[in-house]
């Protein structure tokens, strides 16, 4: 079997309302869908969901990267994941969401060739995963109201609350959210690099009293020594996200004892193949992982949820972003079903999505 063609198409994802984090506001995302075809009629679909402040890419850059990757991929074996990544890494540094699009499409092909759903291709046996739902930054009262709706109306049992602009507002928002949802709902916070070390220690201690179980990326991405210090001063879990792009980043974070949890995102690391390396490094160092997401469609979400389902050390999922879209289904039936924050993956081969382009 040989790759015969690679097709790319822009895909705009409008959101129901603007989504605000500590360093950005988004009201839409422009992603790139990728289709890889083979000489045996088997094809796979992937997705790049760039976010310039984190991955350094936009959709136009991804299209240019894919032109280069096409030259290296056409005529090669689609089952050779390591060879594909080696080629892409030699051609371009970074460009991780473009690489993730190719990677996901190749894994979709692999699943179809094997006749197995992706979570089984990745070594798993359970097809259900529980995700959190993220509450963006807003007025504290509005955040509490949204949290209540997500729990009472939509059935979510885990909430991730964005923070990092004003510590006092963050504490007030979390206080109101805890009052709104009660003691049984699990809460974690994502500061998106918004705190200093001193602010982080003080604010995280306030979060402890509210039963927050973990806080993600308190400090700038480069400050792993600071993350280690914060971790030594608090009694909740410290998670790293923007600090972790590659397996080498994971190794350094583990070596420095800088985190309890690493947030793996396919768009940051380049797809499922390097994501599994990050998880293996973390597991060897007794550090758990979570799989998160950018503003992705069901294509990349199906890949990320399949990875969570496959790996015991990936204990958490933050794979909710497609639900922010005006049309969450986006003309992409299949892949998985969601009810009350519980994903049930399909047993159809590969990603299990029922659409073509």
Residues involved in catalysis: 162, 265
CA distance 304 to 291: 6
Contact status, residue 184 vs residue 158, Cβ threshold 8 Å: no
User: Scanning the structure block, which residue is given the tokens 């201690």?
Assistant: 205
Sign of CA dihedral 173, 49, 279, 304: positive
Task: Give 322's DSSP letter.
Answer: G
Structure tokens at 47: 């997705």
Three-state SS for 16? Answer: strand
Burial of 186 (C-beta count, 10 Å sphere; 0-12/13-18/19+) = middle
* C-alpha dist (Å) from residue 91 to 238, 276, 334: 35, 22, 34
Q: Of the candidates 110, 98, 11, 20, which has an alpha carbon nearest to the alpha carbon of residue 56?
A: 98
CA distance 270 to 97: 6
Q: Residues 254, 256, 258, CA angle at the centre, nearest 5°? A: 75
DSSP per position, 173-224: HHHHHHHHH-SSSEEEEE-TT---HHHHHHHHHHHHHTTEEEEE--S-TT-H
CA distance 14 to 12: 6
CA distance 14 to 295: 10
Q: Which residues contact 327 (CB under 8 A, 6 or more apart)?
A: none
Q: Of the candidates 34, 63, 46, which has an alpha carbon nearest to the alpha carbon of residue 104?
A: 46
């Amino acid at each position: 079997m040989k790759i015969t063609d690679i097709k790319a198409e822009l895909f705009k994802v409008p959101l129901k309302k603007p989504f605000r984090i500590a360093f950005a506001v988004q009201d839409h995302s422009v992603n790139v869908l990728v289709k890889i075809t083979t000489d045996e009629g088997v094809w796979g679909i992937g997705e790049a969901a760039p976010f310039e402040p984190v991955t350094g890419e936009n959709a136009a850059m991804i299209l240019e990267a894919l032109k280069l990757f096409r030259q290296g991929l056409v005529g090669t074996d689609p089952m050779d994941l390591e060879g594909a990544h080696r080629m892409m890494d030699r051609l371009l540094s970074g460009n991780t969401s473009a690489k993730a699009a190719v990677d996901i499409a190749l894994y979709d092909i692999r699943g179809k060739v094997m006749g197995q759903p992706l979570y089984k291709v990745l070594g798993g046996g359970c097809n259900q995963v529980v995700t959190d739902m993220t509450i963006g930054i807003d007025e504290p009262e509005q955040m509490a109201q949204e949290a209540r709706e997500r729990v009472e109306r939509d059935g979510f049992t885990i909430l991730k609350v964005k923070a990092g602009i004003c510590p006092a507002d963050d504490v007030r928002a979390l206080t109101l959210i805890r009052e709104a949802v009660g003691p049984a709902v699990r809460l974690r916070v994502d500061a998106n690099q918004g705190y200093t070390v001193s602010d982080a220690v003080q604010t995280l201690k306030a979060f402890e009293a509210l039963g927050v179980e973990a806080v993600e990326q308190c400090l700038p991405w480069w400050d792993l020594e600071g993350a280690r210090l914060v971790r030594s001063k608090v009694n909740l879990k410290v998670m790293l996200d923007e600090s972790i792009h590659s397996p080498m980043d994971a190794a350094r974070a583990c070596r420095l004892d800088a985190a309890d949890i690493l947030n793996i995102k396919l768009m940051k690391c380049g797809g499922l193949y390097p994501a599994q390396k990050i998880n293996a490094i973390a597991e060897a160092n007794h550090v758990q992982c979570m799989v998160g997401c950018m503003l992705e469609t069901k294509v990349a979400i199906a890949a990320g949820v399949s990875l969570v389902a496959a790996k015991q050390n990936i204990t958490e999922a933050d794979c909710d972003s497609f639900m922010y879209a005006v049309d969450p289904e986006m003309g992409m039936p299949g892949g998985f079903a969601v009810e009350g924050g519980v994903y049930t993956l399909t047993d159809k081969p590969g990603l299990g999505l029922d659409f073509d382009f």
